[in-house]
Chain A
Amino acid sequence: TQLLEQSPQFLSIQEGENLTVYCNSSSVFSSLQWYRQEPGEGPVLLVTVVTGGEVKKLKRLTFQFGDARKDSSLHITAAQPGDTGLYLCAGALRTDKLIFGTGTRLQVFP
């Protein structure tokens, strides 16, 4: 059973558009990570957020951890075709169990 729900499940946009992906749970996490996965490969870490309310920026990507450490968002500004992929959030429970979200498949068309 997935405890982390991501929305939207699919997103298809034109180059230059902005988008936001949401990751929600009823559980509290000690930290939350975002990964990006390309076809045929394993997920690769983008960022880790630890403190409630924390905001981190990675070039055109902005990540936010909710105040209660139950949810997170990923905002991409001026999306590019190279951003295409499967975006995954992953929450670390206090037991060190790391669970992944349901995934958001992003397709950016030139």
Chain B
Amino acid sequence: GAGVSQSPRYKVTKRGQDVALRCDPISGHVSLYWYRQALGQGPEFLTYFNYEAQQDKSGLPNDRFSAERPEGSISTLTIQRTEQRDSAMYRCASSSHRPSDNSPLHFGNGTRLTVT
């Protein structure tokens, strides 16, 4: 597709349920990032992939959060046993090269997660 696609756009779930958020990056993009963003604030780093390899997961808040990108394209961010504090906008971004090559990130429109 022309841009980064995230689904679902909105997700409402009950506390304790598992959720899976999907990111479809721009075709051919090497790097894929997941961020979490509170309203009016900067995105908070969660994790990052180069191709299928998870390079850095230091931003994942705890072991209920995991991410994968098995074929180096589509990525899934999974949150197990959701809690109300997990409610946020989750954003995915992809880049044609590594950031050290000064490539820009292209962001999707995000998934708004609400845990009730």
Same complex origin of A and B:
yes
Interface, chain A (partner B; CB < 8 A) = 2, 4, 6, 30-31, 33, 35, 40-45, 48, 50, 86, 88, 90, 92, 94-103, 105
CB distance from A66 to the nearest CB of B (A): 17
CA distance A41 to B43 in the complex (A): 12
In the complex, residue of chain A having the shortest beta-carbon distance to the beta carbon of B33: A98
Q: Is the CB of A92 within 8 A of B104?
A: no
Residue of B58, B102, B107 touching A48 (CB-CB under 8 A): B102
Q: Is the CB of A30 within 8 A of B41?
A: no
Q: Is the CB of A45 within 8 A of B99?
A: no
Q: Is the CB of A98 within 8 A of B45?
A: yes
CB neighbours of B93 from chain A (8 A): 42
CB neighbours of A30 from chain B (8 A): 99-100
- Which 9 pairs between the two chains have the least Cβ-Cβ distance? A42-B107, A45-B104, A100-B42, A92-B99, A103-B42, A100-B43, A48-B102, A98-B99, A96-B99
Q: Given A42-B91, A86-B40, are A100 and B45 also a contact pair (CB < 8 Å)?
A: yes
Asked whether B108 is an interface residue with its Cβ less than 8 Å from the other chain, the reply is: yes
Residue total for B at the interface (Cβ-Cβ under 8 A): 28
Q: Is the CB of A98 within 8 A of B105?
A: yes
CB neighbours of B82 from chain A (8 A): none
* 18 residue pairs bridging A and B, Cβ less than 8 Å apart: A4-B42, A6-B42, A30-B100, A31-B99, A41-B109, A42-B108, A42-B109, A92-B99, A92-B100, A92-B102, A95-B56, A96-B31, A96-B99, A97-B58, A98-B45, A99-B45, A100-B42, A103-B41
Q: Is the CB of B48 within 8 A of A101?
A: no
CB neighbours of B44 from chain A (8 A): 2, 100
CB neighbours of B75 from chain A (8 A): none
CA distance A100 to B48 in the complex (A): 14
Residue of B48, B100, B102 touching A94 (CB-CB under 8 A): B100
Asked whether B98 is an interface residue with its Cβ less than 8 Å from the other chain, the reply is: yes
Q: Is the CB of A33 within 8 A of B40?
A: no
CB neighbours of B109 from chain A (8 A): 40-42
